[in-house]
Amino acid sequence: MPEPLQVDRGLEHVVVGSSGITLVAGETGGLVYRGFSIDALIGKASYEGVVHLLLQGDPPSPSELAGLRADLARRRAIAPALAHLVPALPPKVPPLDGLRTLLSAAGNGRATYPPTLDQGYDLIAQAPTLLAQLVRHQAGQAPVPPRPELGHAANFLYMLRGTPPEERQARALEDYFILLADHGMNASTFALRTVLSTQADLLSGVVAALAALKGPLHGGAPAKVSDMLDAVGDPAAAEAWVRAALGRRERLMGFGHRAYKTEDPRAVLLRQIAERVADPDRLALALAVERAALAALRAAKPGQRLFTNVEFYGAVVLEGCGLPRSLFTPAFALARTVGWTAHALEQAADNRLIRPDIHYTGAPAGREWPAGVA
Ligand SMILES: CC(C)(COP(=O)(O)OP(=O)(O)OC[C@H]1O[C@@H](n2cnc3c(N)ncnc32)[C@H](O)[C@@H]1OP(=O)(O)O)[C@@H](O)C(=O)NCCC(=O)NCCS
């Protein structure tokens, strides 16, 4: 029996397996999908192309891409039984929670182990439809059926609004989806892989992943970034605002990362995308808050290497795409459906139950239950 291994809190510095999907180079600030740096994808690849890359290992040929686009478009419609569930949800359920509930039921008895590519394509294609129907229902609007000739991101915006989106917004959202498509062993992917390791199905893993994504230390930060920008209000107020927040020992949303000890490479690209899609005044405010936050973090936490993360300009880009804050984390989830599918398939291909141990620090054994108490 090997000696038990004690590891760092939060599993920092712990490597729990191998993956051929995504390289997160935390020290140098790199992110690579199946050998393609994200810089080599933005401006060239479509989200559907990246779906093929992440799930099949290589970029599609032109005919494979056309086939995948058509296949995903065909899968967008949701079953009537699932559509009937949308109005049955409590009226104020947050969209992320609603999506989690709807995906729980989406398998309709066909969500079996091991996961399949087919199940993954259904998930990727149908999650946007479910979310759009839920949001429209909550606004008292009828659902908008998907349009097969629109790409994945453009169709999502179309199903939300009922009118085709501006090209600029559709492109920005597509690039956002590409940049958030996968990210190694983050908390939601770890949750999904743990669930899959019990031989549970893909949708069960995705439900666990969505639960993990919700918190602000993972995917729940971007709406709080927008709140922070509102609270600062004016670029001239940025310095005083961030210093006061750090003085109250608050965390600045959109900064710091477990893996990146330099700037998050997604933040670099999202800043450029924000320049194309964001309202100029909002962008100027974001740039001022970023500058002030980086300086204040350097002064307040000199030992820590805290930089801008994906959520900071992610929020600015999603605002520019016209999404409300309640849809920021759900939009992250839509992007990540492909990464979660890739990890589910990889986990199942070489599975062993994930089951670490925990060191017991409770009362010593031998206590007696009090007499007269059931
Ligand atoms: C992302 C995050 C959870 C990573 O956390 P982590 O690797 O576990 O780092 P820790 O929570 O151990 O923080 C290390 C130190 O840096 C500080 N720190 C980290 N991020 C900070 C932030 N955004 N604002 C202020 N201080 C921060 C912590 O207070 C801690 O300081 P201390 O040692 O003096 O107590 C963390 O940086 C964070 O909370 N960021 C804000 C939320 C956010 O943007 N989430 C989206 C992530 S993509």
List the beta bridge partners of residue 30: 25
Answer yes or no: 368 catalytic: no
> Which residue bears the tokens 């740096």?
37
Give the pLDDT mean for 151-171. Answer: 97
Q: 70-95, pLDDT tens digit by residue? A: 999 999 999 999 999 999 999 999 99
- Pocket of ligand 1, candidates 183, 225, 266, 306: which has the most ligand atoms within 8 Å of its Cβ, to mutate? 306
Residue 216 Cβ contacting ligand 1 at under 6 Å: yes
pTM above 0.95, yes or no: yes
* Chain-centroid distance, C-alpha 350: 25
Residue 305 has a pLDDT of 94
From the CB of residue 320, how many other CB atoms can be counted at a distance below 10 Å? 23
User: Atom 25, ligand 1: which residue's CA is nearest?
Assistant: 251
Task: Please report, in angstroms and rounded to a whole number, the separation of the first and last CA atoms in the chain.
Answer: 40
CA quadruple 193, 198, 200, 206: dihedral, nearest 10: -20
From the CB of residue 185, how many other CB atoms can be counted at a distance below 10 Å? 18
Which entry of 257, 290, 319, 343 is annotated as an active-site residue? 257
User: Atom 20, ligand 1: which residue's CA is nearest?
Assistant: 256
Q: How far is the CA of 358 from the centre of ligand 1 (A)?
A: 24
User: Atom 41, ligand 1: which residue's CA is nearest?
Assistant: 253
* Chain-centroid distance, C-alpha 55: 17
Residue 129 Cβ contacting ligand 1 at under 6 Å: no
Q: 248-301, pLDDT tens digit by residue? A: 999 999 999 999 999 999 999 999 999 999 999 999 999 999 999 999 999 999
* CB contact set of 172 (below 8 Å; sequence gap of 6+): 273, 276, 277, 317, 320, 321
DSSP string, 227-239: HHHHHH-SGGGHH
DSSP character at residue 162: S
pLDDT of 10 over the 90 cut = yes
Q: 295-336, pLDDT tens digit by residue? A: 999 999 999 999 999 999 999 999 999 999 999 999 999 999
User: Atom 27, ligand 1: which residue's CA is nearest?
Assistant: 251
